[in-house]
Amino acid sequence: MHWSEMENTQPRLAGLGRQRLVEPGVVLVATIRQDGTPRLSPVEPFVMDGDLWLSMMWQSRKARDLRGTARAENDPAMERRYADAVAISLGWRPEPGQSHLFAVGINEITFIRYDNATGPPPAWENPSPSATSSRPPDRHAGTPR
């Protein structure tokens, strides 16, 4: 699926994706090295022409990991359009021909949020007077609330 299809069919999810993936200006991408081990690398995401694009430094190891396994774009006209779009949107212009561009096809997208992940620890209360022990009540672990 193209990014534009997600925007049309799931606009709220696409908006969240844009906020979390595109707007910060960097995402982490895991690639597989030739020996089969993972490589985690920062890359620059950008949405253009209805696709999510990842830009990587020319001949970088992460780009070499993806060669032949991903939709790479090496069309000079596309690279110029990409450079112009980035210049208008982000205020800097990548040099055409000095990076690798990869279009990302979306197979699945999921957003998971854990509420109160950094909130206060759970409070414990004494379950009942008959279940008390000889320990002071403030140290008794009862039923969580």
Report the CATH superfamily, name and number, of domain 3-104: Electron Transport, Fmn-binding Protein; Chain A (2.30.110.10)
| Tens-digit pLDDT string for the chain (145 aa) | 999 999 999 999 999 999 998 999 899 999 888 899 999 999 999 999 999 999 998 888 988 888 767 667 778 899 999 999 999 998 899 999 898 899 888 888 888 877 666 655 555 444 444 444 444 444 444 444 4
Q: Distance between terminal CA atoms of the chain?
A: 44
68 Rama class: left (phi>0) / alpha (psi -120 to 50) / beta: left
pTM above 0.75, yes or no: no
Q: Where are the domains of the chain?
A: 3-104
Whole-angstrom distance, CA of residue 86 vs CA of residue 109: 25
